[in-house]
Amino acid sequence: MSVKVSDLTVDELRDLIARSVQESIEEIMEDLAALANPEYLDSVREARKDYAEGRCVSLDELTRG
């Protein structure tokens, strides 16, 4: 089902925008919290190193069991 902006009431559009902004702010806050955590940053560095050195498996390999 496709809804056009012109089909929305002003309140529905306002609510849609408010929810979208709230979700974006929550995602940014989560990112900031993660980036402020030294252990998280260390795990990202380790994962990138593992990937660069070929120590990884594809999703297909994981799902095949």
Q: pLDDT, tens digit, for every residue of 7-63?
A: 999 999 999 999 999 999 999 999 999 989 999 999 999 999 999 999 998 889 888
CA distance 27 to 25: 5
Q: Look at the chain and report how many structural domains it folds into.
A: 1
Residue span of the structural domain in which 52 resides:
5-63
Q: Which of 5, 21, 2 is nearest to 13 (CA)?
A: 5
pTM: 0.57
Give exposure, 11-50, as e/b (b: 16+ Cβ within 10 Å).
eeeeeeeeeeeeeeeeeeeeeeeeeeeeeeeeeeeeeeee
